[in-house]
Amino acid sequence: MNILLFLIFFVIILAGGIYAGFARDPYAKLIGIGLIGGGVMPLIIARGYVDVATALAVIIPLSTIFVLQLCRKGAV
């Protein structure tokens, strides 16, 4: 595995995390969490944990959808 690939994913995760922290809009925060999740997945795959990555790929969007249900009820 190239060191360049690792660096790019670290930058993506940092950018997503900082953006999610400083955004005002709730939807922007959720998009930032999606960026963090997407940046972490190739790093898990690179270690060989394919099943953990598949489980995370199902869990992270599900938790985003539950948070969206909270957003809906909160707005109304």
Partner 1 sequence: MEASQMIMEELGDIMNSISGPFSSPPINPPGESAELAAIICAIIALYAVIRVILEPDIMRKLPFLNVFSFGVAGIMALLIPHPLGIIAAAAYFIGSTFESNAIASTFAGGVEE
| Residues numbered 13-52 forming contacts with partner 1, rule: CB under 8 A | 15-16, 19, 25, 27-28, 30-31, 34-35, 38-39, 41-42, 45-46, 48-52
From the CB of 20, what's the least distance to partner 1, in Å? 10
Choosing from 12, 17, 24, 74, the residue that interacts with partner 1 (CB under 8 A) is: 12
Choosing from 2, 3, 21, 74, the residue that interacts with partner 1 (CB under 8 A) is: 2
Backbone angles phi, psi at 25, to 5 degrees: -75, 135
Alpha-carbon span 42 to 10, nearest angstrom: 11
Q: Are 64 and 30 in contact (CB under 8 A)?
A: yes
